[in-house]
Amino acid sequence: MTSATSASVQALLWRDAALQLLDQRLLPAQERYLEARDAGTVARAIADMVVRGAPAIGIAAAYGMVLAARAGADLAAAEAQLAASRPTAVNLHWALARLGRLWRAGADAERLEAEAVRMHAEDLAANRAMGRLGASLIKPGSSVLTHCNTGALATGGHGTALGVIRSAWQEGRLAAVYHTETRPWLQGARLTAWELAREEIPAQMIADGAGAHLMKVRRIDWVIVGADRIAANGDTANKIGTYQLAVAARAHGVRFMVVAPASTFDLQLAGGEAIPIEERDAGELTAFGASAVAPAGTRVYNPVFDVTPAALIDAIVCERGVIEKPDAARVAEVIGRTS
């Protein structure tokens, strides 16, 4: 069984009982796929940022469970290893729970594989639906700013926030596209710029600290971002730097859109204060590649996500619809309610 999408950029490929992961650490210099044939390799690839982006992480974890089942491995141990690879992206745990319900009920490797392939295809379809819904909110002639990478590289194809930008561009709605560099992994500079170039969408990159200035001196109509977890009240965790863009957007009259599939909502969490925030190694800030950029012994605080309060968000777009001015009641109307 082979996963298949029509996306021009594919972060994950399931071929010949192996998971092929486009190594995003090497982009844009090299396009090289890492092959995973066991759950441990998938877990390390997630932790080491070979694959990143909440939806793509979830899909990769699902295939990791398939690999474990095909090898006759301890599925509970494989599930625990994959679950520990990244703490903030709820799609990871959603995917493992979906596969977990099957294998605990006795499903074999073939059944798990079919489910993982279905999840992959569903994500692509959801992204295309979000692209259409999000684009419909953007008036022709608009200028937009995005943060991090939320395109096909972060998903099963097309993208979330970048998918909306892609759809809006195809519909002739955009006059200008801006994106951040997104320190410290430079997902904007390395990945978003690469995807936009491949799609022949003209864009300009800004330094992470230039967002408020950009909004002051040039007309920006929307900031459009993705999400790694959304609480029941609409508070949203996303790449560090998102919150400051939301604050700047509100100060400058710029609308703020979050784009994420329904699997990103964690209705068990009432608000954003309960979202776990991953902190990563200090070396990501004190070094650039093999070169030190800070004095030895520099102390570092390196959270890689922040939480944007729902009050700063104008619209959350998911495949089920648009949640305008999100709060607990509006989220429940579109996504559902906790039991």
User: Structure tokens of 200?
Assistant: 């022949």
Whether 314 is catalytic is: no
Token couple for 198: 């491949």
Choose, from 123, 221, 228, 306, the residue flagged as catalytic: 228
Question: In whole angstroms, what separates CA 156 from the centre of its chain?
Answer: 10
Q: Dmax of the chain from CA atoms?
A: 60
- Which residue is it, tokens 């474990």? 68
Total H helices, total E strands in the chain:
11, 16
Question: How buried is residue 94: exposed, middle or buried, by Cβ count under 10 Å (0-12/13-18/19+)?
Answer: buried
* Alpha carbon distance 62, 58 (integer Å): 6
| DSSP one-letter string for 232-271 | TTS-EEEETTHHHHHHHHHHHT-EEEEE--GGGEETT-SS
Q: Which residue has the tokens 């690999």?
A: 67
- Report phi then psi at 101, rounded to 5: -60, -35
C-alpha torsion sign, points 132, 138, 139, 143: negative
Residues taking part in catalysis: 228
